[in-house]
Amino acid sequence: MVRSRLGWLGPAIVLVGAAVAALGVWYVVHARPSAGAVIDTIAIDDRRSLVVRAEAGGERAFIELRDGDVVTWQALVPHYGGHPGAPGIAWSPTAVSVRVVRDGYAELFALAMHDASKLGGMRLAPEHGPIVDDPASPVTLTDHIRTYEVVSGPDWHQLVAIDLKSGRALWSRELGPAPVRAGGVSPDMVWVDQGTGLRFFSTVTGASDNAAHLP
C-alpha cells in the first residue's frame, strides 16, 4: 500500500510532469451529498460492477462498487470525465482510477478497490491548456494492468499510460490535432483510430508500431 501511494503521488510528477491533485473534495461518502441518476455501469465480473451516478443537484459524481444489488462502497469525486460509450473508469484487483474534470482540466483520481480509500491523483497533460469534451473520442482504455488516458484539447490530443498497481505514469505520446475516433487494447498494443487510420503503441514503452495489427 505504501508503494502504491508513493506511486500515485510521486513518480507521476517525475515521469509525466503531472501535478498532484488537491484531494480535499474527495470523500468516502457519509455526508450530505446524495447520488442521483446512473450515468454508466462497468462490469467487473459476473457479480461485481462499478456504477457511476450523478450527484443529485450537483456537478460531481458518485462511484459505487456493487456486489449484485449490494453497494459495497461509495465515493464522491469531482465532475466525471467519461460518458456512456466512452467510460472514464479503469480497474485492477487493487485500484480503481476515475477520470474527472476540474477547472477545465483533466485529472485522474485513484481509489483502493477494497474500501475506496484514496490512493492519490494527478493532472493529465499539464503542459497543455484546458481540455474539450469530445463525445466522439474515447476517454479511458485499459487492460486492467495499466490505464491509457486519451486527453483532448481544441487542437491537440495526448495518450498517457499509468500503471494501476503503483500509480506510476509510464509514458505519454502526443497524437496531434486530428480527432481520435476510437481506441482499444490488444495483448501488447494500445491503438487509436485517428486521422487517416489506426495508430499502434507498445503498452509497456509507448513506442509507435504502425506495422502492428489487431488480433
- Domains of the chain from N-terminus onward: 2-202 (2.40.128.630)
The separation between CA 158 and the C-alpha centre of its own chain, rounded to angstroms, equals: 13
C-alpha cell at 156: 491537440
Q: Are 108 and 149 within 8 A, CB to CB?
A: yes
List pLDDT tens digits, range 97-127: 999 999 999 999 999 999 999 999 999 999 9
Whether 71 and 44 have beta carbons less than 8 Å apart is answered as no
pLDDT tens-digit readout, 2-35: 333 445 544 443 334 333 333 444 444 445 789 9
Unique residue bearing C-alpha cell 488516458: 149
What is the Cα Rg of the chain in Å?
16
Instruction: State the Cα–Cα distance between residues 40 and 29, nearest whole angstrom.
Output: 19
Q: pTM for this structure?
A: 0.84
d(CA 122, CA 200): 25
Q: Hey, what's the cell of 28?
A: 468516502
Beta bridge partners of 62: 53, 76
